[in-house]
Amino acid sequence: EKGGYDYFMLKEIAEQPKAVADTLLGRIDAEGSLTLDEVRIPASVLREADKVVIVACGTAFHAGMIAKYAIEHWTRIPCEVELASEFRYRDPILDQRTLVIAISQSGETMDTLMALRHAREQGARVLAICNTNGSTIPRESDAVLYTHAGPEVAVASTKAFLTQLVACYLVALYLGQVRGTKWGDEIRAVVRDLAKISGEVDRVLETMEPVRALARSLADKNTVLFLGRHVGYPVALEGALKLKELAYMHAEGFAAGELKHGPIALIEEDLPVVVVVPSPRGRSVLHDKIVSNIQEIRARGARTIVIAEEGDETVVPYADHLIRIPVTPTLLQPMVATVPLQVFACELATARGNEVDQPRNLAKSVTVE
């Protein structure tokens, strides 16, 4: 049942191109418009929404963080994203014009379920993004957009995450389409890029051998740090979460701009630091700032592991290890940047002799609060 792989996690990482393609299937028409009629929330409700609130836990929360960038950019609707476990305990402001998006692979996460119940009690509409047909979260929501990742068995979420991102992009683009924003042309272009992204994920998977070798060489380290900016920041958090749960290593993700506000004090000789570099096109200011961050940490002895777009030569002099990812639109970069981090964590867990599919102390779905 592991399809020839040693672990479900490896199988599920390899299934990502298909999972991504399946999640897009039937949702983009021949003209490049989105057809999300299955999201039975009337267009009028989507037009009138004045706020989007995303609730989720763990890896699904990281997908939500990335969704916030996409939703605010393409729709100009204010969007908050909050850990489901914190949400209902702080008396959040919600009403009929709030669209709540609950993201959950299993559909059974108690924290997320309690958050959405609270939201509905306040009159908000809830859209679930979920991978498990007929599970509790979609049943209790006003609408659901299913991710078509297929069953995810390994405790560490991989293909579910990539398909959650696809679903979030679809919702963001659909909201933009329904409401009509000045980004119409950009939205059409991104829909075309989204249709190609499964092939890009496949290309990344073909180049993972050096990442595995690098992971094995770091098996006796205690700490790995991850830095990113913009949508690369949630990617850094996701890389760190994967490493914690699988390799049982101290791993932390930071927004690179925060380095000088504290975390740079952690940098010491030979400390591995993974840096997710934004595209030099588009938000090039951020790119240049992160290249300076790489120089700063390297000057203090860090071993820099740089994830950068193909063709970005500026990073080469400062990268002790360079992991290349395909050129993608800025907001879609997490789709390709996360994959090496999954492979990295899986390989490190294996090298450290850990149980990859069933990490200690964890359950696949967390049905208690």
Q: Cβ-count burial of 316 within 10 angstroms (0-12 exposed, 13-18 middle, 19+ buried)?
A: exposed
**What is d(CA 221, CA 272) in angstroms, rounded to the nearest whole number?**
8
**Which DSSP letter does residue 151 get?**
-
Question: Which of 66, 72, 138 has the alpha carbon at shortest distance from 108?
Answer: 138
In this complex, which beta carbon is closest to ligand M6R, that of residue 136 or of residue 304? Answer: 136
Q: How far is the CB of 60 from ligand M6R (least distance, A)?
A: 4
Q: Name, in order, each residue with C-beta under 8 angstroms of 299's C-beta and a sequence gap of 6 or more.
A: none
Q: How far is the CB of 80 from ligand M6R (least distance, A)?
A: 18
* E strands, the chain, in order: 51-56, 79-83, 98-104, 125-130, 143-146, 223-228, 250-255, 272-276, 303-309, 321-325
In this complex, which beta carbon is closest to ligand M6R, that of residue 204 or of residue 241? Answer: 241
**What is d(CA 173, CA 179) in angstroms, rounded to the nearest whole number?**
10
Q: Is 255 left (phi over 0), alpha (psi -120 to 50) or beta?
A: beta
CA triplet 219, 223, 225: central angle to 5 degrees?
115
In this complex, which beta carbon is closest to ligand M6R, that of residue 7 or of residue 74? Answer: 7
Q: How far is the CB of 155 from ligand M6R (least distance, A)?
A: 5
**Which residues lie near ligand M6R (CB under 6 A)?**
57-60, 104-106, 109, 112, 155-157, 241, 245, 365-366
Q: How far is the CB of 109 from ligand M6R (least distance, A)?
A: 3
| Sign of the CA dihedral with 31 first, then 132, 165, and 52 last | positive
Q: How far is the CB of 232 from ligand M6R (least distance, A)?
A: 19
In this complex, which beta carbon is closest to ligand M6R, that of residue 101 or of residue 290? Answer: 101
In this complex, which beta carbon is closest to ligand M6R, that of residue 157 or of residue 350? Answer: 157
Question: Which of 151, 149, 133, 194 has the alpha carbon at shortest distance from 169?
Answer: 194
Which residue has the CB atom at the shortest distance from ligand M6R? 58
CA triplet 286, 288, 294: central angle to 5 degrees?
105
In this complex, which beta carbon is closest to ligand M6R, that of residue 241 or of residue 325? Answer: 241
In this complex, which beta carbon is closest to ligand M6R, that of residue 157 or of residue 177? Answer: 157
Q: How far is the CB of 258 from ligand M6R (least distance, A)?
A: 22
Q: How far is the CB of 81 from ligand M6R (least distance, A)?
A: 14
